[in-house]
Amino acid sequence: MSIRMKSLAAGCAIALLAGFAHAQELAPLNSDTEKDRIDWSQLQAKFGDVPAAPAGAKIGGVSKTLTNEYWRSLGEGYQNYGKKNGVEVVYQAAQNEGDQLGQLSTAETLISQGFNALLFSPQTDNNLQPALEAAESKGIPVINVNDAVIPGARQYVGNVQRDNGVRVAKWFLANRPQGGKVAVIEGQAGVFAAGQRTKGFTETVTDGGKFTVVASVPGNWDRQLAYDSAATILQQNPDLVGFYANNDGMALGVVEAVKAAGLQDKVVVFGTDGISDAYNSIKAGELTGTVDSFPVLTGEVSMEVALRLLGKQAIPRVVSTPQALITKDNVATYSATGDELRKVLLAQPAE
């Protein structure tokens, strides 16, 4: 084991010990099933206006990486809301989605800089646990914002991760009633969202016995690795009918593998996140669809929750944010931005 990995393992072990008392009063968080929850659209009705930010307030955000558009868009949401409400926002990230120690170091640095609240999007479910404990010991509220889930988090903002996979599976059941072979390109091991997305898809699509998941392999959020894995799966299963990838970067890699194999008219590909490249690919008739979880809006809602917490409002442990399956049939509708997109999402029927 490398020195870096030993250090990370030691940090997680310390966090588990430090969080033991914490766990006695707070059950480990499952953001998909937690009963203490509210939908983002109900915050105003239940809690009223957002409290004014404290004078000189600043909020820090720690992201997985800025190389993925999803996380840049989340930060855009933070900044948008901060500017409208007179709050300074500092948004930082690890160098890549595998730099767990770098992300932890970033979080620990922000804790020492006097922020009123912190927004954490951890790379795995455990790597920012030490930072969470350190922040709470200083009285700094921490909000876990998508998509890995810190078990000891008191507040979480994000979408129902399992439902990402369920929505894609339901498309297959409705549009490929004859069934067939499908495959999954998973995200990073140890990330709540990756496990839930895969589980939601697999359990739903195989219900009824018409579909078989012939491969479910890690893609680690990496486009090239997803391409390579998809190419191998297609060689072994030339009669495959479709792929589900846990994020859009991997899905776009799968699309290239499908095109290279000359199977674009037979194999459909779905991703998750709703980045602009995914929308463009859908419009071009290449990517079949994505489950958009609207990161800019998620960032804005997270900042709203932070200000409500600073205003001493008793916000439920989970604030659910919206998502939608995007295909060629509705891509134009969901291409809206800002207030227009909010109107579209608020008009979605309850599920």
**Three-state DSSP class for residue 100:** helix
* Closest among 230, 266, 310, 316 to 59, alpha carbons compared: 310
Task: State the Cα–Cα distance between residues 35 and 13, nearest whole angstrom.
Answer: 28
* Domains of the chain as residue ranges with CATH: 3-159+295-321 (3.40.50.2300), 161-292 (3.40.50.2300)
- State residue 4's pLDDT score: 45
pLDDT tens digits, the chain, 351 residues: what are they? 443 444 455 444 444 444 444 444 789 999 999 999 999 999 999 999 999 999 999 999 999 999 999 999 999 999 999 999 999 999 999 999 899 999 999 999 999 999 999 999 999 999 999 999 999 999 999 999 998 999 999 999 999 999 999 999 999 999 999 999 999 999 999 899 999 999 999 999 999 999 999 999 999 999 999 999 999 999 999 999 999 999 999 999 999 999 999 999 999 999 999 999 999 999 999 999 999 999 999 999 999 999 999 999 999 999 999 999 999 999 999 999 999 999 999 998 755
- State residue 70's pLDDT score: 97
Task: State the Cα–Cα distance between residues 102 and 86, nearest whole angstrom.
Answer: 29
* Closest among 287, 236, 237, 282 to 259, alpha carbons compared: 287
Task: State the Cα–Cα distance between residues 34 and 253, nearest whole angstrom.
Answer: 34
- State residue 1's pLDDT score: 45
- State residue 351's pLDDT score: 56
**Three-state DSSP class for residue 90:** strand
Q: Which two tokens stand for residue 277?
A: 């490249």
Query: What is the pairing mode between strands 211-218 and 268-273?
Result: unpaired
> In angstroms, how far is the first alpha carbon of the chain from the final one?
46
Residue 349 phi/psi, 5-degree rounding, is: -65, 145
Residue for token pair 């809006």: 297
Residue for token pair 């290279």: 260
- State residue 242's pLDDT score: 98
Residue 263, judged by CB atoms within 10 A of its CB (0-12, 13-18, 19+), counts as middle
- State residue 145's pLDDT score: 98
